[in-house]
Chain A
Amino acid sequence: MFRRTALPLALLAIAFAAFAAGAVCIADGNDLGGMYFVAVALVALRAQYRVTLSVSP
């Protein structure tokens, strides 16, 4: 259950939160923070993709 559902969903939640933080940073003019959070979101999405594939039955 954890491997199949909770971990991918947690990574998706991290990606969403990082995207939202990155967008807010860019809107406020903080380009460095925006790039950092977008990078975190992309890595989280990649991790979620690999984990999702690995736990597929």
Chain B
Amino acid sequence: MSERRGVLDRAIDLGPAAQSIVAGVYAWAVTVAPVGYGRHAGRQNWPATLFATLAFGALLRGAIVEMIAPNEEPAVHRARLARSRTLTLFSFSAMSLVTWILDDGALSPVHLGAARGVAGMLGWGLFAYACSAPVVEPVASPARVEAGGRARGRVRKGDAAFVLGGVLLAASLQLIGWGVLSPERAILVRVVTLGAAVLLLGGVGAFVSTRHGADAARSTRARVKGKGAEGRPLPLGWVVALILLIAAGILYALTN
């Protein structure tokens, strides 16, 4: 087997390091190349063309540095790559900025459509994210074998019926409010019904999980007390509050 590795092999080996380069090429193709190479007002803007080419060259230089095989200490190589990536970020951004300044008319809505504008924002956002996020380098360590997950409990008879009932109730809430004409109020109704559905499903989940004594769902205070279910008094505070609230509502409705 030949020791010499092709350009394609090295490009594939770039892996995560190529993320910023690919995002940069995309941003360049959408927002810089049309400005630098396009003919606006019937003439070619050669300084803009030059700086657009330099911007692409900055990306190309960064890719070449990533592809060069290391022949130095790993720590030195990592430091050199970090410096190169910083240089790529600033040189590419600066050249693109100069390109736009030299031909600012190309960025006007006449030449730059909405779709390309959105695509450009997406491209530069991806480039910024790929540059700011740390590159995940492959770690040459043996795979770690872990035991599979263990079930904390078993689904018992009747649980499925409770969960199904809760899902049906939550879904039935979504039938309310589809005839509202005002968009703001329609959105408010949807937010309320969706939140209510999530809360209802949470209540059903807590009921089902504690029905058979799943200890994880109990509060720390209840576990510390350690009393049995029959010996514990019912926490009637919230129930009393509920009764008072309903009574207050009825009283208000009767008096108004």
Evaluate contact between B241 and A43: CB separation under 8 angstroms.
Answer: yes
Quick check: B177 and A26 within 8 Å, CB to CB? yes
Distance in angstroms between the alpha carbons of A5 and B165 in the assembled complex: 14
From B212, B235, B245, B249, A54 is in contact (CB under 8 Å) with B235
Once A26-B192, A40-B242, A49-B206 are accepted as A-B contacts, the answer to whether A54 and B232 lie under 8 Å apart by CB is yes
Assess whether B203 is in contact with A57, with CB atoms less than 8 Å apart: no
Residue interface bits A3-14, CB-to-B below 8 A is 1, else 0: 111011101101
Q: Would you list which residues of chain A between 8 and 23 have a CB under 8 Å from chain B? A: 8-9, 11-12, 14-16, 19-20, 22-23
Which of B50-58, B115-123, B217-225 interfaces with chain A?
B217-225
Are B235 and A27 neighbours in the complex by a CB distance under 8 Å?
A: no
- Give the size of the chain A interface in residues (CB under 8 angstroms): 41
The answer to whether A26 touches B219, judged by C-beta atoms less than 8 angstroms apart, is: no
Given contacts A12-B207, A53-B217, A53-B218, contact A43 B177 (CB under 8 A): no
Residue of A nearest to B199 (CB): A45
Q: Which residues of B contact A46 (CB under 8 A)?
A: 238
- Using a CB–CB cutoff of 8 Å, the interface residues on chain B facing chain A are 166, 169, 172-173, 176-177, 179-180, 185, 188-189, 192-193, 196, 199-200, 202-204, 206-207, 210-214, 217-219, 222, 228-229, 232-235, 237-239, 241-242, 245-246, 249
